[in-house]
Structures are given as structure tokens and as C-alpha cells.
Chain A
């Protein structure tokens, strides 16, 4: 610093920065920024360990506390009681169906939203995308009760047309409808960046070579958007697997998912051991499903590893 010259604000900041965080510590910066996220996830992992430990103790009805002895009895009960296998099967089937339908609906929505030349249409699609986020899942489920109810809007319309009414409310298909509507914005949000990243010139090139719209979309756009629809599929699948509110509100009590059974274990039966065992099973199933996807398709498809770089993904 020259004699008599006052240091600038930037200069003072640099001096303090070097004192607090010297040059040799700079390589640690990314890890420091990662630290909060790592702490959060590791605390969740710690909670999972506690839940896993609880799952190995049976409820003592004399004291309504978990017993001291370790046991696999809670897991045995899950296998012995057909109801739990039915609920697990129902949840997994719902996750598969909802994922397939949601991603199929999200692809044209996301593509149109990104590619449309009309500003009005894009705004409309964006409003349609974000409006549901302002309404919680419970409010949306309640909205479906109004639409699909015995004397709801749907049946009023059908009856007005002279058609027989339909019983969708409090049924499994009703739960699936609610879930698809809930998941669609998530899927579109994950797909939109994938479509944006595809240069429009590629589609123009395909068309200039004689390719029509559908083959261009099928052979050019969809493969290049693979990271988007894989990510959308994984997110929708896992969110559906763990959903509680839709089956609770729209299932009429007879279409529980695993999350509802976990709730019943903890709160209705006061059996933290059984509830924990179910929670571990749910976590294991979700993890397994995602692992299968990543193993079969590769995490690189999510764009985490760019092809051409070292160890390029499949």
C-alpha cells in the first residue's frame, strides 16, 4: 500500500480475506460450501440409524415401551401379516403407474412450454405449472373431493349429459388421479431444462433433411432429453412411494400406502418398533428402485458426468 493512500473497500476486503482464508486454504472452499448440505443429510442418516435400531425392539404392552431385547419380530410380523404385503404391493404399483402417466403427460407439456413461439401460450403454461405449487397437497386433494365427489362437478356434468355417474372418489383410481395431478408440475420442472439444453438447430437440421415432426421428436429430442425424463421418473416414483396425504384423503380409508401404515404403527397402535420397521422397508424399497435405475441407465444420464470427460458415464 502506498504511503498516504487510503485502501479501497475492495483492498480492505482482500486483506481480511487473506487473513481469514489464506491462499493455501482456497482448495477447501468447495468442501466448506458443501458442509451444510452434508451435515443435513448426515443428520437424516443418523435419524435413520435410530429408526433402524428402534425397529429391532418389540413393544411391551405392560408398559407401552419398546423392550430391551433385540428382535427381528417386527420384520417377521410384516412378512406374516398379508395386509402389509398388500399395502407394499399397492404402493409400488401406484408408484409405477403414476410415474409412467405423469412423465408421459409432462413431456409434451414441458416441450411446448420451452419451444412455443407464442408468449401468451408460454405464460399460460407457466401459470399452469406454478399455480399448483401455491396450493398445498391437502388443498389439492380437497379440490379433487369436490370434483370427483358423489355430487361433484364430474358427476354433475355426466348427469347433465344424460350419462350414468361414476364412482371415482375413495377408490384406488381416484388416488392415482390425485397423485398424477400432484406430481405433474414436478416432472415438468425437471424436464424443462433438458428440453432447453437441446439446440433448436438440431431439430431444424432434422426437418431440413426431410424428417417430419414426430420422427424428429422421437429420434432426436427424446433421446437428448433423457437426463430430464429419467430425473423426472425417479423423483415422481420416490415421491409417490412415500406419499401420505392423497391415499389418506382420497382413498376412503381402504387404499392405504406404506406411509399411512407407518403412521398407524406410530400413532394408532403406539408401536414405534413396528412403525420403524415399515419405515426401513419403505426406505429400502425406494433406494433399491433408484439404484436399479442408476445401474441400468447410469447416473451420467442425469448430466452429472459429461460425456467426453474422464470416466464418462453411459
Chain B
């Protein structure tokens, strides 16, 4: 009887000893394994926008990067505004952030840099030779890098304008198109245009924005739809709208998909902005290394060529071939003359005031 009991007890003690030894040794083993995996993480997670945006990034950057390094790239399509507080919270709490690379608007990326949650990208080899537009404004070093510029164009349904493109943003407040106009739900991209179309000047921003708000009031009376990138495509496709202020990439993607849509830069000009990439702080060293390699690859000539041509946007790497369908298009600015037609609000002004402007647009549109 006692033998029967003694044997399992020994086994138990032996097993328990092995478990205890494993528990003691586990950190060392894991550290060793971590050291082995120092060079390559299991995957890189890159936040991106959906549709043509992620398709272009994948074709131009993620896929070639994976082929070259063997590291799979996963795209996280969480909205840029939604991922931001998650990253901020992770960095504040000392947790590993949920993504490796954030593809973001320059304004949002600058807010994160101001908050101190971004890694410095100085020293990336492919920062050399970029256009001055690539460098973040009003910040020390490179907590982000701008990757291309883009224009918020006046997109229109061809059937609604048989005589040709509208030449002014005033078409947005034309009662003829009541209920058939659209802008972004926070007014982004339309605020500078509204300022000029409302009789003000770009130089008045941010001190006197009344012309812009007056124009938004008129727009509100015209029953606009308010949405995000994918909404514009759906609305044009379903015949819900005739005109919209949207990023050229969305209008171009719709056209390439057979939706009869065109775009123009009206005589008042159109908002020019930039997007960029940044890396949140708090990544393990090896993951940070490869996240930087990813951003570096996104700035390479081959990466920029395919990625930006897919989006129909001018890259920050000079000397690349523009897409054939956008040559000489004022919404694809490549010369000083092109840039003069466009409206550019300095990033520091956007960072400081954009939230107030969004709140003001919201106040008008929810009235």
C-alpha cells in the first residue's frame, strides 16, 4: 500500500521539480529565444486605410518588403482617429503598442509627435534626397516622415455636368444640387476652399474664418451628406450625389472601377495636404529595427513609384514617373505653377486649430 502511494508521490515530486525548474529557467530560455529572433519579428503590423489605399501600399511597399526580408506584413485597417488613442494609452502605460508603423495624416502624426509617443526616424538612409515637403514642420528631428501630398478635389458625376467640369466651389451651394453634395464628416479638406469661396483669403486662416463658416452655413442649407472615404465611392456609384469634395485617389479609384466620375481643381484652389508614416515608442528593439526598415523601404524610389502611382499622388521622392492619366493634371502638382493653384495651411496651424474647426463644422452641420 505504502509503495503504491510512494511511487506516485515520487513521480509527483519529480514532476513538480521539473515544472519548478522550467519556471525558473523560462525567462532565460525565452530571453535566449528572443535573442535568436532578434533579427526578424514574426510579422509587422502596419495601420492603413482600406480600398485603393491599402491595395497600393501592399503592391508598392508591403509585398516587396516581405519578399525581400521574409517578414509578413499585416495591415490593420483601424481608422486613424481610432488607433491614435490606443497607441497613446499603450505608450503611457508602458505596454507594447498595437502596431509597428502608423500610416497617418500629417496633422494627426504631428499631434502624436507633440505628445511624445513617436520614435525618431533620423538616420534612415532613404531620408536623403527627398523633397523638403517630406520633413515635418515645427518639430525637432524626424518623429514622422511625410510620404506624399494629395489634393482634395471637386469630384463630380459626369452625367450631372454635360457641359463640362464646374469651375467653382460655388456649385456645392447651388440649390440645383440640393441633397446631392457631399463632404467629409468633419469638413476636412473643404475648410480652406470654403474660406476662399466664402470671400475670404487663405492668409486670414486662422484669425478670421468667418467667410468659411458662412460658406458652411450655405452648404448646410443645401443638405450635404457627410461621410468618410468609402462613402463617396458608394454615393457616386448609387447615384446619391452629383458633387463632392474628396481626395483625388477616391475619385480616381471610382473612375477606374467604371463609375462615371471626374474631378477638377476649381478657380478658388483646392486644399493640399500630406500623409506620413511614424513608429510608436515602446516596441521591442528588434521590432523597432524592422519597422524602421519598412519606413525606409516606403521612401525608396521603387517603393514610392508603385505605391504613389497606385494612389495617383505625387511622392516626396523626386524624379519618379507620374501615372500616365495624371500628367498635367493640376490635382497632381509637380511644378511651382501647379502648387500656386492650391491652398496649403501650415501644419502647425492645423495641429493647433483643427479640433476647433471640426467642432465648428459639427456645430453647423448638426443644426
Contact = CB atoms under 8 A, between A and B. Distances in A.
Contact of A83 (B84, B179, B240, B363): B363
B366 A87 contact: yes
Interface of B: 79, 81-82, 84-85, 88, 111-112, 114-116, 179, 185-186, 220, 224-227, 238-240, 352, 355, 358-359, 362-363, 365-367
B194 to A, nearest CB: 16
A83 B225 contact: no
A86 B365 CA distance: 11
A64 B111 contact: yes
Contacts of B359: 81, 83, 269
B115 A64 contact: yes
Interface of A: 61-65, 81-83, 86-87, 149-151, 167, 169-170, 252-254, 256, 264, 266-272
B226 A254 contact: yes
Nearest to B183: A253
Residue picked from B82, B88, B240, most chain A C-beta under 10 Å? B240
A267 B227 CA distance: 15
B157 to A, nearest CB: 12
Contact of B366 (A86, A150, A272): A86
Given A264-B186, A267-B85, A269-B358, 8 more contacts: A83-B367, A167-B179, A253-B224, A253-B365, A267-B79, A267-B81, A267-B84, A270-B111
The SS class assigned to the A binding surface is loop
A294 to B, nearest CB: 32
Nearest to B89: A272
8 contacts: A61-B355, A149-B240, A170-B225, A252-B225, A254-B365, A268-B186, A270-B111, A272-B85
Contact of A267 (B82, B365, B366): B82
A86 B364 CA distance: 11
A100 B114 CA distance: 49
Contact of B363 (A82, A167, A268, A270): A82
Contact of B367 (A86, A266, A268, A271): A86
B358 A268 contact: yes
A81 B186 contact: no
B114 to A, nearest CB: 6
Contacts of B238: 149-151
B355 A271 contact: yes
Contact of A253 (B82, B111, B114, B225): B225
A141 to B, nearest CB: 13
Contacts of A150: 238-240
B85 A266 contact: yes
Contacts of B367: 82-83, 86
Contacts of B79: 267
B362 A270 contact: no
A215 B352 CA distance: 66
Q: What are the nearest 9 A-B pairs in CB distance?
A: A253-B226, A83-B363, A267-B81, A253-B185, A64-B115, A269-B355, A252-B225, A83-B366, A150-B240
A81 B240 CA distance: 32
Contacts of A264: 186, 358, 362
A83 B358 CA distance: 12
A254 B85 CA distance: 25
Contacts of B239: 150-151
A90 B363 CA distance: 14
A63 B226 CA distance: 30
A273 to B, nearest CB: 12
